[in-house]
Amino acid sequence: MDFRDTPPQAAFRAEVRQFLRDEFSGELEPGAAGMAAWRKKLVARGWVAPAWPKEYGGAALGVMDQFILNEEFAEARAPQVGGLGVAMAGPTLIVHGTEEQKQQHLPRILNGEVIWCQGFSEPGAGSDLASLQTRAVRDGDDYVVNGQKIWTSMAQHAHWMFMLTRTDPAAPKHRGITYLLVDMKSPGITVRPLYNMADRHDFNEVFFDNVRVPAANRVGEENMGWYIGTTTLDFERSNIGTVVGHMHTLRSLSKYVAEHRDDGRTTVAWDRAVRMELVDRYVEARVGRLMSYRVISMQAQGRVPNYEASMTKLYSSELTQRIAGTGVKLLGLYGQISSSRSKHAAMKARPTKQYLYGVAITIGGGTSEIQRNIVAGRGLGLPHD
């Protein structure tokens, strides 16, 4: 790995830093107006979807420039916008969508007018996604969809869903799947909330009862949805935003300890093991950053980080849980308070909330078990059985 920026990369990093100094004071104006104004500034530079081609509102940045942008935004704690529309729906439409679909959806994704959700996982098809059974039957100019999706993030707010459906039940499971775009206001759709341990409503169950979806909303060919659903553009996959966030969290914990070590609001004053544990988390965060640098260095060389990206995701997500556990230990009995509204909440209960929410971190985006299988099979060459 070469840790040095090339002259063009150094110039771009300086541009990003200057933009952040000029346009971001550390926080946005409260409410939707602040986020809208921030998004407008990013849209003007093509930085909402920096990897998208310029003709579709992106900046056509290469992987290293994307990495620099993400790293500097993370260091400044500046919010990036986009969501699943930018990360998944948009790239799929750019590659496989019709011109009408692109014109209808891409500008609204960039401008934040539309929120998207992903209809992939089902109660019987999570890690083995190709076993999905939600049916879509062609009826004239429509598909009639029946079935259920689960763990659908933010479906309660979404305007549109991109989903995989079974259109040929007789075909091998990776075939016979069709990719559809579904208006969430369509009759027959029911969204039911799923609350997690942190009492957050992020996930949902979504039920489809004879939902009619125009065939014009199909992306690509019928029965080819599995291959369309795997489409990505050349996004950087270093996870740098998460690893920088780890260091921010650890600095906040250290600051709290320094301010409260003698007033009984932290265990660090008397528990040497907890102090050493905090140091271990710092070391691990540094290791995580080096793993991210490895992934981006491979991409910059035109290589595809396969098991390396899985290693980074696995390590980073499990480190998130370890950092949360250390934070709760540092807070002692105050670490049991999960409400930020309590006058006794330490650090506004952020470590406790992170601890409760951390279970989901090693599940979403591919479970730790799946990542280990990828590392074992593709990295170490171990047999599947």
The sign of the CA dihedral 105, 145, 233, 360 is positive
- Tokens (6 digits) for 243: 């690893």
Helix axes 272-300, 63-76, angle to 10 degrees: 150
194/204 Cα distance (integer angstroms): 5
The length of the chain in residues reads 385
52 close to 59: Cβ distance less than 8 angstroms? yes
> Beta-strand (E) ranges in 188-312?
189-194, 203-214, 218-219
Phi, psi of 213 (to 5 degrees): -120, 120
Catalytic residue among 236, 308, 318, 369: 236
Task: Take residue 285 and report the two structure tokens written for it.
Answer: 């965060």
Q: Is 236 a catalytic residue?
A: yes
Amino acid making up residue 95: V
62 is written with which tokens? 């290469």
Measured between alpha carbons, how far is 294 from 317 in angstroms, rounded to an integer? 17
Residue 222 · residue 285 · CB < 8 Å? no
**Angle at which helices 63-76 and 7-23 cross, to 10°:** 30
Residues tagged active-site: 236
